[in-house]
Amino acid sequence: MLCDRFKKERLKTGLNQVEFAKLFNVTKQTVSNWESGKRKPDIEMLSNIAKYFNVTTDYLLGNDISDNKTDDIKLSNLEKLDSNKMVKVPVLGVIKAGIPMFAEENIVDFEYIHQEELSVGEEYFYLEVKGDSMINAQINEGNRVLIRKQDYLECNGDIMAVRVNGDEATLKRIYKQENGIVLQSENPKYAPMFYPASDLENGYVGIIGKAIEVKIKL
């Protein structure tokens, strides 16, 4: 159980075995042994790994029969994060239908960001901007926008990453209406796009995250 959950959580971070080993000052073979079940990390190492994954040690060990990854204590530990620690965040191009969001096919690069800038328990990714539809929001082609993964709209007018046409990821302001949603560009040459509620229900259109900040292309 430990080996399976350890590997599952490592893959979610986007780190390969060599990169993960460097973070914890162990060898690639040690990480490989953990994932194959040949060896287990000691108690201190297990605790550090659990903190990095934002899960409990019981979850990693398989002692948590409810399969819960976190508990109230862990979720309150944001103030204890190491502000000098850098987190590897995947950069996505398109988000292909039928393929998990963070699968290799969707990832074009990685960015590093201070851990203190991220909220505990949330998933993040960067979306590489294509086109000029958001230029009046100072979001230009080639910029990378940090996205917090979520499938709901908090406030009308929020800039969100949206999947349209089945597999194309785009950034737009979203306005919810009674019978659907409107995607609004920040460039007057592009008309608003309306999608009925049925498109949301059948997966043709879907909210995938909220824009948090923009990394300017130098």
Considering the chain, tell me which residue range(s) the CATH 2.10.109.10 domain(s) occupy: 86-215
Q: For residue 170, list its beta bridge partners.
A: 162
Confidence of residue 179 (pLDDT cuts 50, 70, 90): very high
Q: Which of 69, 74, 172, 189 is catalytic?
A: 172
Q: How does strand 86-92 pair with strand 107-114?
A: antiparallel
Tell if the pTM clears 0.75, that is, is over it. no
* E strands, 93-205, in order: 107-114, 124-128, 144-149, 159-164, 168-177, 180-184, 193-196
Per-residue model confidence (pLDDT) at position 185? 92
- Fold for domain 2-80? 434 Repressor (Amino-terminal Domain) (1.10.260)
CB-based contact 130:94 (threshold 8 Å): no
Per-residue model confidence (pLDDT) at position 99? 61
Confidence of residue 52 (pLDDT cuts 50, 70, 90): confident
Tokens 């659907």 appear where? 180
Confidence of residue 184 (pLDDT cuts 50, 70, 90): very high
Sign of CA dihedral 74, 79, 80, 81: positive
Nearest to 164 by CA among 194, 186, 144, 135: 194
The CATH number of 86-215 is: 2.10.109.10
Instruction: Report how far residue 117's alpha carbon sits from residue 96's, in angstroms, rounded to the nearest whole number.
Output: 28
Residue 133 designated active-site? yes
Q: CB neighbours of 92 closer than 8 A, spacing ≥ 6?
A: 101, 102, 106, 107, 108, 125, 126, 127, 128, 169
Q: Which of 133, 185, 189, 210 is catalytic?
A: 133
Confidence of residue 97 (pLDDT cuts 50, 70, 90): low
CB-based contact 51:43 (threshold 8 Å): no
List, in sequence order, the alpha helices (H) in 68-217. Answer: 72-75, 197-201
The DSSP-derived string for 10-50 is HHHHT--HHHHHHHTT--HHHHHHHHHTS----HHHHHHHH
Residue 172 designated active-site? yes
Considering the chain, tell me which residue range(s) the CATH 1.10.260.40 domain(s) occupy: 2-80
CB-based contact 91:161 (threshold 8 Å): no
